[in-house]
Amino acid sequence: MLKKSPVLLFFLAAGIVLSGCSQADPDREPEVFDKSDIAMGTVVTERIYSQGEDRTSEVLDLLSQTEHRYLSWREEDSDIGRVNLQAGKGRVPVDGQTAGYLEETLKISEESGGAFDPTLGELTRLWDVEAEDPQIPSPKKIRKLLKKTGYEKIRLGMEEDQDWVELEEGCSIDLGAVGKGVGCDEAAAFLKEDPKVQGAVIAVGGSVLTLGDKPDGTPWKVAVRDPRGGQEELLGVLELEGEHYVSTSGDYEKYFIQDGKRYHHILDPATGRPADAGLISVTVLGENGTVSDGLSTACFVLGKEKGAELLAGYEAEGIFVNQDKKVYVTKGLMENFELEASGYVVFPLSS
Ligand code: AMP
Ligand code: MG
C-alpha cells in the first residue's frame, strides 16, 4: 500500500500522477524540478529531472500558447476559433500543427464510427453539467443541436503548402477531448530537445506524459484515480518505464445527479445524451498524447467490447472500469497495473 507522503499528496491534489523521489548522491544526480500551476484550463503538475536548467515554466508557457494559438474554441483568433467563425464560408488557412492534430483527431472519429465527435461543443454547452443549477435539456433542443454536429462536417486539405480547414455552416469544433493529450505531445517534443533532461513526468489534467528515466532506476508510477473515491483516492498504480502517454476519461470529472441518476460530461453523439455504455472510467496508453486522450473518450462512449477493438487497431492498451466495479485490463498492461482500491476486482481483457 502506498503511503501518502507530502510529495505524493502534492501530485495527487493536482492531478493523477505520482512519482518516486530520487534518493541518489547529489553530486552525480540531476536536479529535480517540480511545479504545479494552471494551464489549458486544468491543473498541470510537473516533475523534471535535469542536469541543466529548470524547464518547468517554459513547459507551462508552451501549453498556454498551444491553447491560445491553435486549439481554443473560446478565443476568436486561435486557429479553431477562426475556423468556427468562418463556418459555411469556405476554406480557412491554419497552422500545420493545428492541421496535424485535427487530422489525428478525425482519424479517431472515423475509426470509432463517430463515437468520438469533435463537433459536440454546442451540445456540451446545452447540458452545462457544471452549472450551479444544471437542467436536463428537452429532447427537442437536443435533436435540434444534433443536426449541426458530425465529424464529417469538417474537411481538411493543403494548397500550395498551406493547410486549410473548412467547416459546414452551423457546425463548430471543440477539441476539449484531445487538448490535454496534445499538451503532452507538445511538452514531450520540447523536453526531448534538451539533452540535459533525463526524465520527466507531466500531468495535464487527466493526461500524463512520462519521458526518459528516473535517476534511481525505478519505474514511473502513474496513479489512476478511484472513479468512486475522493480526489486523493487511487484505483491503482501503473508502473511504466520510458516514454508513455496515459489518459483517463471518467463520469466523475464533471457531472450532476438528478433523481439518483448521474448526468456527466461525455456525450454519446448518437443520442446527444451522456454516454451510457456501462463504464465509469477508461484509461488508455497510446502512441502519443493526442491518440491516448482521444481514445479514452471514444472508448468511454463505445463501452468495453467495442472500445477494446478500437484499442487493438491502435496497438493501444487500456483499463476499463464498469459500473459493477469490475476493472478490465488489457493483457499488455496487466503486469504494470496494481490495484489499490478495495471493492474492485481486476480481470484480464483481450484487446
Ligand atoms: P475527456 O475528459 O478527454 O474524455 O473529454 C471530455 C470532453 O470532451 C467533454 O467535456 C466535452 O467537452 C467533450 N466531449 C464530450 N463528449 C465527446 C465525444 N463523444 N467526442 C468528443 N468530445 C466529447
Ligand atoms: Mg479525452
- Residue 257, sorted as left (phi over 0), alpha (psi -120 to 50) or beta, turns out to be beta
The residue whose CB lies within 8 Å of the most ligand 1 atoms, and thus the one to mutate among 117, 122, 126, 265, is 265
Of 3.10.520.10, 3.30.70.260, 3.40.50.800, 3.40.50.300, the CATH number of 7-56+180-349 is 3.10.520.10
The contacts of residue 196 (CB under 8 Å, 6+ apart) are: 30, 50, 51, 52, 53
**What is the pLDDT at residue 339?**
98
Residue 18 has pLDDT above 90, yes or no: no
Question: What's the pLDDT tens digit per position in 115-167?
Answer: 999 999 999 999 999 999 999 999 999 999 999 999 999 999 999 999 999 99
- Give yes or no for residue 234 having a pLDDT over 90: yes
8 Å CB contact between 136 and 130: no
CA 326 – CA 279 distance, rounded (Å): 10
> 28 C-alpha to center of ligand 2: Å?
39
Mean pLDDT of 282-297: 98
Region 193-220 average pLDDT: 96
Grid cell locating 97: 500543427
Element (H, E) at 264: strand 261-264
For residue 174, the ligand 1 atom closest to its alpha carbon is 12
Give residue 8's identity as a one-letter amino acid code. Answer: L
| Host H or E run for residue 286 | strand 279-286
Lowest mean pLDDT among 4-8, 51-55, 205-209, 286-290: 4-8
> What separation in Å is there between the alpha carbon of 275 and the centre of ligand 2?
14
Going from N- to C-terminal start, the domains of the chain cover 7-56+180-349, 67-176
313 CA to centre of ligand 1 in angstroms: 21
pTM of the model: 0.92
| Contact residues of ligand 1, CB 6 A cut-off | 116-118, 120, 124, 174, 176-177, 206, 249, 253, 265-267, 269, 293, 296-297, 301
Three-state DSSP class for 23? Answer: coil
Among 101, 130, 224, 267, which is best to mutate for testing ligand 1, by the most ligand atoms less than 8 A from CB? 267
Query: Ligand 2 centroid vs 117 CA: distance in angstroms?
Result: 11
User: In this structure, which residue's CA is closest to atom 5 in ligand 1?
Assistant: 177
Q: What percent of the chain has pLDDT over 90?
A: 90
pLDDT of residue 29: 81
Residues flanking ion ligand 2, Cβ below 5 Å: 177, 293, 296-297
Q: Which of 326, 340, 270 is nearest to 298 (CA)?
A: 270
Q: What gap in Å lies between CA 1 and CA 30, rounded to an integer?
A: 28
**Distance, CA of 237 to CA of 201 (rounded, Å):** 14
pLDDT tens, position by position, 268-279 = 999 999 999 999
Nearest-ligand number for the alpha carbon of 293: 2
Mapping DSSP to helix (H, G, I), strand (E, B) and coil, where does residue 274 land? strand
Q: DSSP assignment, residue 153? A: G
Eight-state DSSP code of residue 138? P
Rounded to an integer, what distance in angstroms lies between the CA atom of residue 158 and that of residue 92? 11
- Give residue 112's identity as a one-letter amino acid code: S
State in Å: Cα 335 to ligand 1 middle.
29
165/40 Cα distance (integer angstroms): 23
Model pLDDT, residue 16 = 46
Contact call for residues 123 and 142 (beta carbons, < 8 A):
yes
Task: Name the residue type at position 209.
Answer: L
CA of 300, nearest ligand number: 1
Q: Are strands 317-322 and 326-330 parallel, antiparallel or unpaired?
A: antiparallel
Q: Determine contact, residues 241/219, Cβ cutoff 8 Å.
A: yes
Question: In which band, very low, low, confident or very high, does the pLDDT at 20 lie, cut at 50, 70 and 90?
Answer: very low
Question: Residue 246's closest CA among 335, 318, 330, 348?
Answer: 318
Q: Which of 31, 2, 212, 171 is nearest to 89 (CA)?
A: 171
Residue 24 confidence (pLDDT): 37
Q: Which ligand is nearest to the CA of 265?
A: 1
67-176 — its CATH code? 1.10.3980.10
DSSP class of 266: -
The ligand minimizing its distance to the Cα of 112 is: 1
Compute the distance between CA of residue 334 and CA of residue 321 in angstroms, rounded to an integer. 14
Residue 219 per-residue DSSP state: P
- Give pLDDT, residue 9: 39
